[in-house]
Structure 1
Amino acid sequence: MTRMIPHFVGGKHVDPTGGRVADVFDPSTGAVQAHVPLASADEVRAVIANAEAAQADWAATNPQKRARVLMRFVELVNRDMDDLARLLSSEHGKTFGDAKGDIQRGIEVIEFCIGAPHLLKGEYSTGVGTGIDVYSMRQPLGVVAGITPFNFPAMIPLWKAGPALASGNAFVLKPSERDPSVPVRLAELFLEAGLPAGVFNVVHGDKEAVDVLISDPRIQAVGFVGSTPIAEYIYTTAIGNGKRAQCFGGAKNHMIVMPDADLDQVADALIGAGYGSAGERCMAISVAVPVGEETADALAAKLAERVAALNVGPSLSEGADYGPLVNSAAVDRVAGYIQQGIDQGATLLADGRGITVDGHEGGFYLGPTLFDHVTTEMAIYREEIFGPVLVIARAADYEQALAMASDHEFGNGVAIFTRDGDAARDFAARVNVGMVGVNVPIPVPIAYYTFGGWKRSGFGDLNQHGADAFRFYTKTKTVTSRWPSHGVRDGASFVIPTMN
């Protein structure tokens, strides 16, 4: 009998009460390995009530004790790292090493959040007036929610949960229904680490569950990562219902390749950044922009050679460079983009369609695909493909390359490879993109800086992790305090207080 992945509510597994379920596949074989419930609106409301009941006591716990729970959680995740990575690989399809990286990048944010006692400090000014002091304090919002995507089933839930929990909030996670087991396991480890029951809850679902989280008045803030149309929908609906929202959408990340760049280094960087995790990363480099025809011709040749040598295989195969896509619908979507590229006149240098893996013929595999002579009007340039497809869009000069990255509707990440410090500095200052790499192909900031894209890659005023996360998950209260000497009276005043 196929297992049912439970909700995790109030510190325990909770079986679904509704009848709707979704299949959870093993992408390496194509077989259904589990079912996941799709919660009804009433089930989600019950989860929110449970979180609300637990939040006040957690908020009253001093920040140092909250931080110690996070410290213990890090220890437990490291203890179980290999098991978590295998579980993640079995549902997502990314390789074992990549799965460990997914978990590690989440843990690094938790490690940053252990410093919450410092990050939650307010400010104090003494003697702003006669006998008057002013101070501020950061306080939790209450119950907050995270709606997270399939492509990072550990990292992004932890990016959301870490600062939310450290700040004293209760957290409701709605993970992707495509790979839901690791989020449940993380909730179990938080409980083992000492987090009170009900402070971290996992509810599975689809749009019905999402619509409750972005409309129920008990939810004070919502964080989301996914496609741009859904990010925009969740953002506008949530703020329309009086909530805070930070919603991150699609991407089309460019790598500018200057004529002076080391092309072997560039080719290696593009292969890893373009095809790692089967291209199912919001920070994947999907557009290489070589400057000048000579640079473009040389780069295309090096990439074609490296693409031909890539090994696609089961997620737990030691020799695989990358594994399958998450499901058959993803394969069909990416294959459709490949055909569009051909139809619109791009030069196909490598076609990944129709690949089979011996012994895993039912798996959701797509080989590495490479296009050259791609123009900015083509769909494979304009739209996020989210698969193992890399395109070469040639630029005549530096200014054209800069404009291509800056003018695209997405502004998530961008990179430049060059040996010219002046060009790199100019590029970093002028490009209209939120995260920039200089000779770094995937510019995901370290945990104590913030992560976030611009334009239609991000909706909201504050980014993920770093100091921004604590600003997002707390509200500031400012107190003006006066302790007059006994017997001193100023009499009634009818003018607004000033610094005079």
Structure 2
Amino acid sequence: MSATATRLLHNYVGGAWAPASAGDALDVTNPATGEVLARVPLSNAADLDAAVRAARAALPVWRDVSVIERARTLFGLRAGLERRKEDLARSVTTEMGKTIVDARAEVARTIEMVEAACAIPTTMQGRILEDVSRNVDCETVRQPVGVCAAIVPFNFPAMVPFWFLPFAIACGNTFILKPSEQVPLTQQIAFEIIEELGLPAGVVNLVNGGREIVEGMLDHEGIDAISFVGSAPVARLVYERAAKTGKRVQALGGAKNHMVIMPDAVMDKTVSGIIASAFGAAGQRCMAGSVVITVGKAHDRLLPDLVEATRALALGDGTEDGVDVGPVVSCEARDRIRDWIDRGVAAGATPAVDGREAGDGLAPGGAFVGPTILDGVTPDMDIAQEEVFGPVLAIVRAGSLDEAVEIINASRFGNGTSIFTENGAAVRRFRHDVQAGMIGVNIGVAAPVAFFPFTGWKDSFLGDLHAHGTDAVEFFTRKKTVTSRWFSDGQGHGSYFVES
């Protein structure tokens, strides 16, 4: 399928593409140009019901497929994604805005998720213990949860849906995906690949839409588990509302990630790490480093090189060669981010690099905000506490590592943090004391690979089991424990043998 200005996207339900029953639709636009790429339908409760019915009907069929065959299906999915990886990457860039280099890296991580899920014959294994009492054995097996659904954000149109989809179906569940209505095109390609796998109808479903579909998923009695990625306030709403209906829930919320720079940091490598973390994907990552805390003399060692490197970044259409920072996702996001910079300056911060007007000479309909560094930020400022979700980096000074850790731990978020130093003792203390789920050492974006869980803390995550890695298998399965004793000697007779 090729995107055109007049194309109205379809849902994928019960193994077939189907138009939404609702008539309302939204424009899907290219944030670099303002061009309308397609129209996404705002599906309604009837569309969601159809997907749930299809998923429930497919569940007994799919869970009875052997775990080896399910794994082989995922090998086929991996091959299909690999075959169309450039199509997927260009779709990500066109509808979301990140550079093509960044988009290709995202698609590579998407494929990595499927590769991790292919290990399901090993990772889904249970446990057994012989002779827990005389002639009594006990074993735990894992079985599917049921119909699982995911509500995903705009910033990773390819990867984040695959934090959930391959693991869910590998474990024998059926699945319903609601992509972000801002970036639905990439999953249209992914589902074209899924359609080629020959899955039983209803195993994997896609329902486009907005708030009505989200709320319907949270309340629907036919959905057993919900995975969500988005802002912290919505994550809390999802967690509380879905839990009230008895669903298993994992809700990944917002972040305010800090990077601590010690005086002994290797500054050229540190600058590169900060630049990639703060300004990659125009800062629209839940793992973006948005606050740098310089300890002691590190500030004066760091800032000149960091400012120079930031000013050298090229802003533009992410599909073009040589562009380092693409647009943000929409003009509304652009205006919101510019307002955050205004507020930071009004609070007393100094713009060491000011990107508010950096995109004014680019495409008239483009949603551009240039990389921005605000120096002289204090921990109590809103710009240091709230998630901006744009290419804005706040610089905060601290007198010691202990003070830096106190600043981090005072945040209500606890997604990720990094430290840049060559001091092993400082790293040991930092990783032990800091209240965040993912920690980088001389690494700006401490996002785990697919085989490890994505372990946010505090307001950055609500639930017990995290996305991907070993936690994914835990989340998408229920444990059943069987305690057994056999009285017969196996010859068909005996004082306790009963023949029916």
TM-score with structure 1 setting the length:
0.96
Q: CA separation in 1, counterparts of 2:14 and 2:345? A: 52
Q: CA 1:357–1:70 in structure 2 vs 1: closer, same or farther (change >3 Å)?
A: farther
Query: What are the equivalent positions in structure 2 for 1:35-434 lying under 5 Å apart?
Result: 35-292=39-296, 294-356=297-359, 360-434=363-437
> What is the number of equivalent residue pairs in this alignment?
489
Q: Deviations over 1:234-274 (max 9, x none)?
A: 00001111000000100011000001111121111111110
Q: CA deviation at 1:358?
A: 5.5
Q: Secondary structure of the equivalent of 1:268?
A: helix
* Structure 1 letter corresponding to 2:25: V
* Structure 2 letter corresponding to 1:264: D
Q: Deviations over 1:65-111 (max 9, x none)?
A: 00001001111111111111111111001111111111111211110
Q: CA separation in 1, counterparts of 2:12 and 2:325? A: 31
Unaligned runs of 5+ in 1: 491-500
* Structure 1 letter corresponding to 2:31: P
Q: CA separation in 2, counterparts of 1:178 and 1:397? A: 43
- 1:457 pairs, out of 456, 460, 475, with 460
Q: CA deviation at 1:327?
A: 0.5
Q: CA separation in 2, counterparts of 1:360 and 1:272? A: 24
Q: CA separation in 2, counterparts of 1:310 and 1:326? A: 19
Q: Deviations over 1:269-326 (max 9, x none)?
A: 111110011000000011111101x321221211111111110110101110011111
* Structure 1 letter corresponding to 2:41: P
Q: Is the 8 A contact 1:325 1:365 kept in 2?
A: yes
Q: Secondary structure of the equivalent of 2:369?
A: coil
Query: What are the equivalent positions in structure 2 for 1:459-474 lying under 5 Å apart?
Result: 459-474=462-477
Alignment partner, residue 9 of structure 2: 5
Q: CA deviation at 1:357?
A: 6.5
Q: Is the 8 A contact 1:73 1:193 kept in 2?
A: yes
Q: Is the 8 A contact 1:52 1:170 kept in 2?
A: yes
Q: CA separation in 1, counterparts of 2:345 and 2:62? A: 56
Q: CA deviation at 1:434?
A: 0.3
Q: CA deviation at 1:12?
A: 1.7
Unaligned runs of 5+ in 2: none
Q: Secondary structure of the equivalent of 1:310?
A: coil
Q: Secondary structure of the equivalent of 1:150?
A: coil
Q: CA separation in 1, counterparts of 2:427 and 2:198? A: 47
Q: Is the 8 A contact 1:411 1:457 kept in 2?
A: yes
Q: CA 1:419–1:359 in structure 2 vs 1: closer, same or farther (change >3 Å)?
A: closer
Q: Secondary structure of the equivalent of 1:49?
A: helix
Q: Secondary structure of the equivalent of 1:325?
A: coil
Q: Secondary structure of the equivalent of 2:130?
A: strand
Alignment partner, residue 32 of structure 1: 36
Q: Deviations over 1:386-433 (max 9, x none)?
A: 001011011111110111112211000000000101111111111110
* Structure 2 letter corresponding to 1:399: D
Q: CA separation in 1, counterparts of 2:464 and 2:129? A: 27
Q: Is the 8 A contact 1:215 1:238 kept in 2?
A: yes
Q: Secondary structure of the equivalent of 2:377?
A: coil
Q: CA 1:359–1:402 in structure 2 vs 1: closer, same or farther (change >3 Å)?
A: closer
The share of aligned pairs that are identical, in percent, is 43
Q: Is the 8 A contact 2:453 2:469 kept in 1?
A: yes
Q: CA separation in 2, counterparts of 1:311 and 1:361? A: 17
Q: CA separation in 1, counterparts of 2:187 and 2:234? A: 21
TM-score with structure 2 setting the length:
0.96
Q: Is the 8 A contact 2:232 2:252 kept in 1?
A: yes
Q: Is the 8 A contact 2:54 2:201 kept in 1?
A: no
* Structure 2 letter corresponding to 1:54: A
Q: Secondary structure of the equivalent of 1:475?
A: strand
Q: CA separation in 2, counterparts of 1:358 and 1:256? A: 35
Q: Secondary structure of the equivalent of 1:57?
A: helix
* Structure 1 letter corresponding to 2:432: A
CA RMSD of aligned residues (A): 1.3
